[in-house]
Structure 1
Amino acid sequence: MSEEKIIKVSNGYLMLFVLILFIVGLIVGLLNKSVLFMILSVVLAAITIRGFFLVNPNTSKVLLLFGKYIGTVKENGFYWANPLYNKRGISLRASNFDSERVKVNDKLGNPIMISTIAVWKVKDTFKAAFDVDNYENFVRVQSDAAVRKLASLYPYDNFQDEGKAEEITLRASMNEVSEALEKELSERLEMAGIEVLEARIGYLAYAQEIANAMLKRQQATAIIAARHKIVQGAVGMVEMALEELNKNNIVELDEERKAAMVSNLMVVLCSDKDVAPIVNTGTLNH
């Protein structure tokens, strides 16, 4: 037997009625002072009691007979089975697992702190009971291994040029990373009969020793990107202004005055502080 087997067992209420008959027999033996009848009733009642067990909702019982797998009872209720069966309970409820924060290196070699949150449940009771030593501990260990592998496959963030902006990163591509983590974890836990319902990164940050340096790098990248947009917009506005002046014949400017105008407009548009203009009330030459 190498796979789960769902079995049906006797109704517990029917055997409870049989147990009551044995107890009645014991009472009759006491009244009649029949030692043999009393002993027989006590032995049968004791054997019968050992066969009762409960299966609560979203739980199961794995039945063993002298080390041999008999089957699994998943339907909830009150049952009776062979008193010699060893009955091992396994929960079928969904469980949350929040791993500890571990320090690993991302794809670029930067040390980061990362943890994972997984939602899982037992799908195959035979694998969970017999293919691994402790399936709950197996989930913890494999989750840690999966998140370490995942972190090594992707960079924490993308500091490259815009041409590589679509690269998957741990910080920006949460959906893609979560899908990759769920797939990796599912493959690792398949041998334990565990179904992964959801897996995602619970915590993500640079390690303390490089956190300040990386924060400055992010700020510098953001400033450069913002300046790039400002310059692009300013050049467009200057070009539009020159075209409108030329189109409407408002004023004719030679190359020297165009250069001066462009310089002044660029200073006004690109400056990060308010500009105080100097009004010329004379001629263009003064």
Structure 2
Amino acid sequence: MTEPQKRPLPVRVVRRHPDGIPMNDLFRGAAKPAAVPAAVPAPVPEPTPLRPPPDEPDLAERAGAALPGWCAVLVALTSLGAAATLLWRARPPRAAALLPWEWAALAGCAVVTVLALGGLTRGRTGTAWVLALFGRYRGSVRRTGLVWISPFVLRRRVDVRLRHWRSEPIAVVDAEGAALRVVVLVVWSVRDTARALLAVDDHLGYLREQVEAATARVLSQLPADAFRGDGPTLRDAEAVGARLTRLLAAECRPVGIAVFSAQPTRIEYAPEVAAAMHRRQVAALDAKHRDTVLTSVIDAVDDTVTRLTTRGLVELDDFERQALVKDLTVAFYTRQGGGPERGQE
């Protein structure tokens, strides 16, 4: 007995829409998926500001104890005058030694004079004194001219003027991994003298390290050059400088440094990749130039053929139209420098 033949199972053909939806579901009213937006370069996130050290929660600049210098000079002169009066009373005609209280008064006058004159100092414009006693912050003095500060406190001078610093070439990489050398110009000043001297060991070294770190972080977000189309690059110095300034200001604020501007003054490829990147840049410029020339040639040929046929100057069939378009394209393209001259072919 012969076995019954098995019927092949029906094959269901599912046609898909270019968006990825089966055509059957599309006819039933299935919604198309939302178009995926083009990838946008992620902005540099704002860093979280650091906090003061836990052992100094109130570490912030405040006014320190200081007096005008003329007060100390007046006190010193008064003390010297009192001492001179006591010595004048004990002159030879009196023929008597100084009494114990007179010796105590002279010693007191001497101590007052030493303290008054020993605390005199000169405050300069653009500088400030940071005071500390037994390792604890006691305030800052921004007075100018002759100033009296207690001689028992430790005084450290700090420059609070607007300053600028140009970095050495910093080695970084861009978004495509190309090695770069960047020079950054930073305009900054000390805003909080207490944090600048006490919250960090060396605020100048801290600033240099943060400039290198922020530069590497910002420049790694974008390519140095756009070889494959138009897009944001590191050649936009204004945008890169604004992002670098914002990031560096946030990092330096906890140590009392105010950053007003951080601008890359020079961005160039590293010597080991400079030649290859230069050839790539020249090739991209040449391709862009050829594309521009070809677009203008096609527009000119289309306008010429349209005018000729619209005004009835020539009657062309398809073959003649193709030949005319070819000849005009070659002529215009050669004329505009997009290819070699006919005599050189």
User: TM-score range with shorter-chain normalisation?
Assistant: 0.7 to 0.9
- Map 1:60-79 onto structure 2 (within 5 A): 60-79=128-147
Give the partner amino acid of 2:66: V
* Cα deviation code 1:12-45 (max 9, x no counterpart): 1111111123344455566646694655444332
| 1:8 positional shift | 5.3
Letter paired with 2:272: E
Question: In the alignment, does 2:108 pair up with 1:108?
Answer: no
Equivalent in the alignment of 2:217: 149
Letter in 2 for 1:58: G
1:126 aligns with 2:194: yes
1:275/1:258 Cα in 2 relative to 1: closer, same or farther (>3 Å)?
farther
Conserved 8 A contact 2:72-2:117: no
Question: TM-score normalized by structure 1?
Answer: 0.87
Is residue 94–residue 120 contact of structure 1 (8 Å, CA) maintained in 2?
yes
Instruction: Kindly report which structure 2 residues correspond to 1:2-151, keeping only aligned pairs within 5 A, or say none.
Output: 2-7=59-64, 9-25=66-82, 27=84, 32=90, 36=103, 39-151=107-219
C-alpha distance in 2 between matches for 1:244 and 1:198: 58
Distance, in Å, in 2 between the alignment partners of 1:43 and 1:57 is: 31
**Residue number in structure 1 paired with 2:234:** 170
Matched, 1:240 2:297: no
Name whichever structure is richer in helix by fraction.
Answer: 1
Structure 1 pair 40/6, CA: closer, same or farther in 2 (3 Å)? closer
Normalised by the length of structure 2, the TM-score is 0.73
Please give the per-residue CA displacement for 1:82-141, whole angstroms capped at 9, x wherever unaligned: 221212211110111111102222111111111211000111111111100011111111
Counterparts of 1:176 and 1:231, CA distance in 2: 33
Comparing 14-23 with 115-124, greater Cα deviation is found at 14-23
Separation of aligned partners in 1, 2:77 and 2:204: 40
More displaced, 152-161 or 122-131? 152-161
Specify the alignment match of 1:270 in structure 2.
Answer: 333
Of 32-41 and 69-78, the range deviating more from structure 2:
32-41
What is the letter of the counterpart of residue 21 of structure 1? T
SS in 1 for 2:79: helix
Asked whether the 8 Å contact 1:112–1:207 carries over to 2, the reply is: yes
Deviations 1:212-254 (A, max 9, x none): 1111111111111111111111111111111111111112123
Q: Partner letter of residue 224 of structure 1?
A: A
3-state secondary structure, aligned to 1:210: helix
Structure 1 position 187 matched with structure 2 position 250: yes
Distance change in 2, residues 1:26/1:137 (3 Å): farther
Q: One-letter code of the match for 2:284?
A: T
Deviations 1:127-181 (A, max 9, x none): 11110001111111111111122222221111123xxx23x2112x211111111
Q: Percent identity?
A: 26
Alignment partner of 1:215 is 2:278: yes
Matched residue of 1:57: which SS? coil
**Residues 8/48 of structure 1: CA separation in 2 closer, same or farther (3 Å cut):** closer
Unaligned stretches of 5+ residues in structure 1? 278-286
Cα distance in 1, alignment partners of residues 216 and 314 from structure 2: 67
Q: Deviations over 1:18-74 (max 9, x none)?
A: 112334445556664669465544433222222112222222111222222221122
Structure 2: runs of 5 or more not aligned: 1-57, 92-97
